[in-house]
Structure 1
Amino acid sequence: MVTLWWVLTLLTLLSPEASGSNPGVRVKVTQKGLDYGRQIGITALQEKLKSIKIPDMSGSESVAPIGKVSYSLTGIQIVNLGLPKSQVTLVPDAGVSLSIGDAFINLHGNWRVKYLKFIKDSGSFDLAVSGLTISSTIAVKSDETGRPTVIGLNCAATVGSASIKFHGGASWLYNLFSHYIDQALRKALQNQICPLVADAINEMNPHLKTLNVLAKVDQYAEIEYSMVDSPVVSSSSIDLGLKGEFYNIGQHKEPPFSPIPFTLPPENSNMVYIGLSAFTPNSAGFVYNSVGALSLYITDDMIPSSSPIRLNTRAFGAFIPQIAKQYPGLMMKLLVKTVKEPSVTFKPNNATLQVNSTVTAYAIQPNSTLSPLFILNLDASVSAEIYVTGLKVAGALTLNEIDMTLGTSYVGPFEVTPLEKIFMMILKVVVIPKVNAHLREGYPLPAIGNMNLVNTQLQTLKDYMLIGTDVQFTG
């Protein structure tokens, strides 16, 4: 039952103060996903029902022609229980309905009787309960933390038929009044089934509390996966919108842009589909840019030793002579820094990143002070390869082209065109590898407990990426 989480979680990621704004992330659970959850959930429920305890029973009945017969039933235990037919269905605009049919329970116990005041007898009995049906509606809410909580409602359990067979002693006598005992046992069963179903549903809540509604990414950022509107429940799927927004840790400042509306395609071959809009990585860019994390100092020791281009005034003096004249024989340092948040664009089969930055070049004086040489405006176009690894989305960038203009020169005017190949090389061998090392760490997807993603596929569509995946649970 626990692993129906992702049916119920997707219904219950309801923030108490949902904003109603466009989501950055959309999630859909298909019928295939529902069926997987049902299979595992029914196994858990079956084990729960095996804990049914039938108390010892005693009473008396008038059985013709014997008269009053006192009886007791003790040591009643379940020896077999089966839930061969079950179904979890979505009720449009309502919730999840669980139904079980043709269930059976076999019990064994001991009997003892006394009649005609002095005659005693004893033996054993077998009780076969068949045609058992169980139905329950699962209501979903949010707790005070914005995480899901579930409650079982409207449970009904019906025992279709029960037959009891007595063994040993004067079993012919008991067969005369077995229907009296049948009724008592059936009532005892029915009284316990629904409370156990409710317990099984309630036991999901500690697992649902592991949902990473707010997931830490690194020292700078966390990502929020709270709901922005109510889920849309149809007869075949659950569709919902999550915020999918990066924030500075502890400082939830909204970016100057909003998610663009998008809808998921009618795919159904996987259990779950996750749509990640460009808003999500763009909100990440806003966060990292605002905390100054998108800057990098580059020194000569970061340039491959095989490179003929070195970061010193002699090498750059070949292109800008006045540098070599004013600052002869000095090493240089570059500061690459974004001037605004990078912008990610998703198009069919294509993800690109546009970065607007500056490059400030310094000469390193013998006393380690930095003398500014020039500032270049550098716009770079980068292709992004995005993939799913474990429970994270990761990526790798490839530099396409750059456009440079002179922003400020402290050594007089010069042409920047001859420098383009140099900075193209520096970006490719220094900056891009460092960015990719960070991107390989990835950022977390919505997840709960011991969930794993399998058979995962990712495709880039207009304005969003679509992840189709199946789900497995371990442990």
Structure 2
Amino acid sequence: MLLCCCLVLVALVPTTLSVNPGVEARLTDKGLEYGRQLGIVIVQQKLKSIKIADISGEERIGHLGKVKYTLSGMQILNVGLPQSAVNLVPGTGVRLSISNAFISMHGNWRVKYLRIIKDSGSFDLSVNGLTVATTIGIMSDETGRPVVKNLNCGATVGGVDIKFHGGASWLYNLFRKSIEKGLRNALQTQICHLVDESVADLNSRLKTLSVLAKVDQYAEIEYSMVSPPVVSKSSVDLSLKGEFYNIGKHQEPPFSPAPFSLPLQTSNMLYIGLSAFTANSAAFVYNTAGALSMYITDDMIPPGSPLRLNTKTFGNFIPQIAKEFPGLMIKLLVKTVKTPVITFTPDNVTVQTTTTVTAYAIQPNATLSPLFVLNLDSSVSAQVFVSGMQLAGNVTLNKINLTLATSYVGEFQVKPLSNIFQLVVKAVVIPKLNAKLAKGYPLPTIGKMKLVNPQLKVLKDYMLIGTDVQYTN
């Protein structure tokens, strides 16, 4: 009902067998206060929707005998919630309290006495000193999905003031106290029922949430709880799986997440820590899917470059190529031979890759004749940033190292080819990788949530996003 920000966290679901999380998320007191502001608006709207059933009764009044009365058509005109507070209950969830609230209502009354005499009119009702207190537990159900539960609710009505209009005032004043008592009891029951209803509505929404966020045709990322939520005096912490998988095939990588914990910071509403494990699981997935390979042809090289992918250019460094394959174009196959390794150090993200580059001469009949295979070890630095609800980035080349793996054209020196492959990596491979990284990877969110002024910092073995949030229904 209230904890929109908190539910951003608990909506990341089912429990797994992992010990350490790949992602840690924390809702702070500041985020909880924002949740209170959103929640009070929702509570106010809910209170305005209260439906009070008709109230009927009878009083024995002197010589008039039994006077039967009915209050009907009661409608809420206004609800005021001037004071409210929300506090974390360690180990349990959240405590919401509302005090000095007021409700104004309007309705109709009618009475019947001496069997045949009837009277009627309208009334205005003011409820003052209304207090509500409830504890909402944050937990998971038997499937590991998030669930919130109203653990207790108490509502009291301080004072009820009713003013009747029309009819004989001396008459309805005789049973005013009985009516006020009936309305007080009806309101107190309705308010806690409303709280139960709101929590039930919230759970039905949570159960529709997907535990997997699709990234592209190769990968999806799972944000599932690996342990129950931890509620302390100042925050709600969630440990999430934060692991990439090949779509439809959840194969675990040959490495596990290392433990890490978020620093004690409170200036933002929400903190999300993404470990190097999460990034490396993505590298494992794309490498396993064969997505980290590409063919490179001359039309992908900038037109103004003097270095071309043809046997003439390569023949300047390897004469045997020009002799055996004169006047042909060359195609390169760049392919990773093992999963890239991504390292987080303070203010720096580095990616180490080991690939092979196979060069082919393209024959007139389009068949490919292998020329050589090089081992290419490279290092790139990455800049990572938040774009909307995505984590995006771009990379720049640090260095490459070439060694000869296989030659089909005799022995040759690899070093003179360095400029060609520097060009290939910078002009073709890096731009294609950056175009992919610019599309981003989904962060853990719920509903129509926006990140406000997110700040990202790279620390040892994880990156930390501190952000405020804006949430709309």
Q: Give the distance between the partners of 2:294 and 2:70, measured in 1 at CA.
A: 84
Question: Residue 216 and residue 11 in structure 1: after superposition, are their counterparts in 2 closer, same or farther (change >3 A)?
Answer: closer
Partner of 1:86: 84
RMSD: 1.9
Q: Residue 457 of structure 1 aligns with which residue?
A: 455
8 Å CA contact 2:70–2:109 kept in 1: the answer is yes
Distance in 1 separating the partners of 2:306 and 2:425: 15
Taking the TM superposition and a 5 Å limit, the aligned residue runs for 1:14-413 are 15-16=14-15, 18-63=16-61, 68-116=66-114, 119-142=117-140, 146-413=144-411
Q: Could you say if the C-alpha distance between residues 6 and 146 of structure 1 is closer, same or farther in structure 2, counting changes exceeding 3 Å? A: farther
Cα deviation, residue 396, structure 1: 0.6
Instruction: Kindly state the Cα deviation for residue 46 of structure 1 after the two structures are TM-superposed.
Output: 1.4
More deviation, 73-82/339-348:
73-82
Q: 1:214 touches 1:223 (CA, 8 Å); kept in 2?
A: yes
CA deviation vs aligned residue, 1:96-133 (integer Å, no higher than 9, x gap): 22222111111222222344555543332222111111
Shift of 1:164: 1.8
Which residue type is aligned with residue 5 of structure 2? W
Answer yes or no: is the 8 Å Cα contact 1:285–1:341 preserved in 2: yes
Q: Following the alignment from structure 2 to structure 1, what is the Cα–Cα distance between the partners of residues 450 and 458? A: 22
For residues 11 and 308 of structure 1, what CA distance do their matches in structure 2 show? Answer: 57
Q: What's the offset of the Cα at 1:272?
A: 0.8
In structure 1, how many angstroms separate the alpha carbons of the residues matched to 2:346 and 2:80? 49
Q: What is the CA–CA distance in structure 2 between the aligned matches of 1:454 and 1:407, rounded to whole Å?
A: 50
1:256 corresponds to which letter in structure 2? P
SS of match in other structure, 2:439: coil
CA deviations 1:320-361 (Å, max 9, x no partner) are 122212222221111111111111111111111111111111
Of 211-220 and 109-118, more deviation after overlay is shown by 109-118
Change (3 A) 1:407 1:414: same
Deviates further, 5-14 or 369-378:
5-14
1: distance between equivalents of 2:54 and 2:301? 83
* CA displacement, residues 147-172 of structure 1 (integer Å, 9 cap, x when unaligned): 32323231221112212222333213
* Change in 2 beyond 3 A, CA 1:208/1:215: same
Measured in 2, the distance between the counterparts of 1:206 and 1:423 equals: 56
Which letter maps to 1:5? C
For the residues of structure 1 that align with 2:344 and 2:260, how far apart are their CA atoms? 12
> What TM-score, normalized by structure 1, do the two folds share?
0.95
The equivalent position to 1:469 in structure 2, one of 467, 470, 473, is 467
Mean CA deviation greater in 412-421 or 66-75: 66-75
Distance 1:76 1:368 in 2: 84
Aligned to 2:409, what secondary structure does the other structure show?
coil
**Which shifted more, 138-147 or 462-471?**
138-147
Shift of 1:179: 1.2
Distance in 1, Cα, partners of 2:272 & 2:214: 19
Deviation at 1:252, TM superposition (A): 0.5
Scaled by the length of structure 2, the TM-score of the pair is 0.95
- The share of aligned pairs that are identical, in percent, is 66
- SS of the equivalent of 2:373 reads strand
Q: Matched residue of 1:325: which SS?
A: helix
| Deviation by residue 1:289-339 (Cα, 9 ceiling, x = unmatched) | 111110011111111110000111111111112221222222111111111
How far apart are 1:173 and its partner, in Å?
3.4
| Paired amino acid for 1:353 | V
Of 415, 421, 424, 1:423 maps to: 421
Residue type of the alignment partner of 2:451: L
Which range moves more in the overlay, 88-97 or 53-62? 53-62
